[in-house]
Structure 1
């Protein structure tokens, strides 16, 4: 799994950023530009994505174990784990299964209720998957994902690079995800974020995650859809900075 690190290697606080499905670690570039240089940040490309495109995405559980192994090596004291969409589900799973490695969680736009008719959705995705290799189609998808112009070449490149098998496996895991039992026992600070303009399913999921974890906070970000870190990187970077500096 490809891993990128930035910031102060000797910083007392570490942030782990987990990207969404169909993109890669480059989606965090606007956030990284707004974080203080004194913070250490670890950004992996998850299996099947970006520079880890040759790796197989088998399951959320296996991916979470791989990320935990990477943290044991690079940040054994733990990290603030922030994830978006698919990455947010992995952040929840890490907090639930390896709380010793998670000093806090920021969960952005995580679906936590299984999608009805998931099989039909995956069937349609399988049929249209070859279009992802077409530049015009990737550009249309990028608009829906709020990807800014400066990141468009990265998205177009990685859309063509991602295999049909990894796309279906990662999306299938995303659509079937439910709140893991261990989440309710996570004792570190947790923030659940959802865009004001996101689908009802995402708002319901955010409430499920918030209500099942005593002491967690939930916020709806005005004007945002399914793309808070890309639409409001200033707000998102500030939320991360506040948490590593232990502000309320």
Structure 2
């Protein structure tokens, strides 16, 4: 393993200013800083860029990769107010701002779950800055469900969605990082995660409080609002993007309704055998190979 793969990612602070507020987006920068950015990878709801360190670092000997913390996650300082949110246009617009500050040729835009969908929404608005997309089990409901989510009445029903209810009840504070690790290890969404990846998630997923304990950097109310706010339209983005889209979807309980038989122009859909929604954590080689193939 060469030296560059062992080097920790650099941390950048990228200023973001749009209609959703002013702040700085924290970005992990992997690979040779003297080469243009090849790939931008965006994490899932509730997580952070550091979670993906062991997924992305092995690629950094060949690629330069930016991995941002989305609004309301990790070390990004953009305001995250859940009141009145109906979709992921704020995440879309933040990624557009990030794309506009990347120098060099168009990049591969990628992400997992919400990060994949937000990447798709951004690419459809700025296709000239994007060479292609690799989406890991993105959240793309059926066309009928997307239409239903756009109805105002759905706002009142959001509290009944199990993911929303569970997120609101999530434990927010811990006495120590060790206590948090013990609480998460082998449980819920973290079942089957490598311990290194779980430790990386907690590295930027917790922040020390004035009282001496630790709290989640992604507030459970913000995480819940991401689950509830579904009025954006990924199908429209798929029709407009005009760039190759490679979707890897979970075989088990996928959040992506597209099938390998999809006839959408430029869209390739593959199923990860035995993969759950968290296959990037359980089967990182599969995700890594797809990212490398798209970016080289």
Structure with greater strand share of residues:
2
Spell out, residue by residue over 1:178-231, the C-alpha distance to the aligned partner (whole angstroms, 9 max, x if none). 4242421322211011111234xx35x2339x8373021110011211112211
CA distance in 1, matches of 2:167, 2:132: 36
The answer to whether the Cα contact below 8 Å between 1:138 and 1:156 also exists between their aligned partners in 2 is no
Aligned to 1:64: 92
Spell out, residue by residue over 1:37-81, the C-alpha distance to the aligned partner (whole angstroms, 9 max, x if none). 131100101111111266316652122112111221123532101
- Residue 99 in 1 paired to residue 127 in 2? yes
User: Which stretch has the larger CA shift, 4-13 or 80-89?
Assistant: 4-13
Task: Report the secondary structure of 1:37's partner residue.
Answer: coil
Q: 1:142 to 1:149 in 2, by over 3 A?
A: farther
Task: Report the secondary structure of 1:104's partner residue.
Answer: strand
User: Which stretch has the larger CA shift, 70-79 or 109-118?
Assistant: 109-118
Structure with greater helix share of residues:
1
Using the size of structure 2 for normalisation, the TM-score is: 0.71
User: Which stretch has the larger CA shift, 31-40 or 175-184?
Assistant: 175-184
Aligned to 2:253: 198
**How far has the Cα of 1:151 moved from its partner?**
2.4
Q: 2:195 aligns with which of 136, 149, 161?
A: 149
Aligned to 1:138: 184
Structure 2 counterparts to residues 2-151 of structure 1, below 5 A: 2-11=26-35, 14-52=38-76, 55-56=79-80, 59-75=87-103, 77-113=105-141, 114=145, 118-121=158-161, 124-125=165-166, 127-129=168-170, 131-133=171-173, 135=180, 137-139=183-185, 140-144=187-191, 146-151=192-197
- Count of residues in Structure 1 that have an aligned counterpart in Structure 2: 238
Aligned to 1:167: 223
CA distance in 2, matches of 1:73, 1:87: 19
Task: Report the secondary structure of 2:58's partner residue.
Answer: coil
Larger radius of gyration: 2
Higher RCO structure, 1 or 2 (CA under 8 Å, sep 6+): 1
**How far has the Cα of 1:126 moved from its partner?**
5.5
Aligned to 2:210: none
CA RMSD of aligned residues (A): 2.7
CA distance in 2, matches of 1:109, 1:10: 32
CA distance in 2, matches of 1:164, 1:127: 5
Using the size of structure 1 for normalisation, the TM-score is: 0.83
